[in-house]
Amino acid sequence: MYKKILISTDGSKFGTKAVTHGVNLAKSVGAAVTIVAVTERWSAIDMARKAKSGKANPVDAYEQAADAAANKILAEAEAVATKDGVKVECLHVRDQHPAEAIMTTANNKKSNLIVLGSHGRRGIAKILMGSVASEVITHGSIPVLVVK
């Protein structure tokens, strides 16, 4: 049924659970996996504040830090898939809103399942912070497996 599974991770314990679960599922059904880490665009207000405080090239510093973090997250996720003998491709999607990047990547890779973690926010935290999982479920066209 599933031949191409997209797994999204942010390196959190919830993202790591999604990687483990998604890789195990892929192994059991013989699917290939694409693992994606998304980093959002830098905030103009934050960059202006850092520049004003004397930091040279704050945008470059942000981009380098984002790349380093995503590369570390993806290397750890790739190790999980490789250890289990699952064919894996890792992607870092830069400067995008996570839900949009996940859905676009899944469509581009012709994935037939998206696996992602849920942070389990409730109440006001969910209202204020939103949920990437909720957005992907609501606006996507591909089945979604949310790992708690």
Q: What are phi and psi of 78, to 5 degrees?
A: -60, -40
Q: How many domains does the chain have?
A: 1
DSSP labels, 115-129: EEE-----HHHHHHH
pTM (2 d.p.) = 0.89
Looking at residue 1, what is its pLDDT? 86
For 44-75, what is each residue's pLDDT tens digit? 787 788 788 887 888 888 899 999 999 999 99
Q: Measuring CA to CA, which residue among 95, 94, 93, 92 is closest to residue 43? A: 95
Query: Rounded CA gap, 146 and 17, in Å?
Result: 10
For 26-45, what is each residue's pLDDT tens digit? 999 999 999 999 999 878 78
Looking at residue 131, what is its pLDDT? 84
Looking at residue 33, what is its pLDDT? 98
Query: Rounded CA gap, 111 and 80, in Å?
Result: 20
Domain range for 140 is 4-147
Q: Give the CATH number of the domain where residue 98 resides.
A: 3.40.50.620
Looking at residue 66, what is its pLDDT? 94
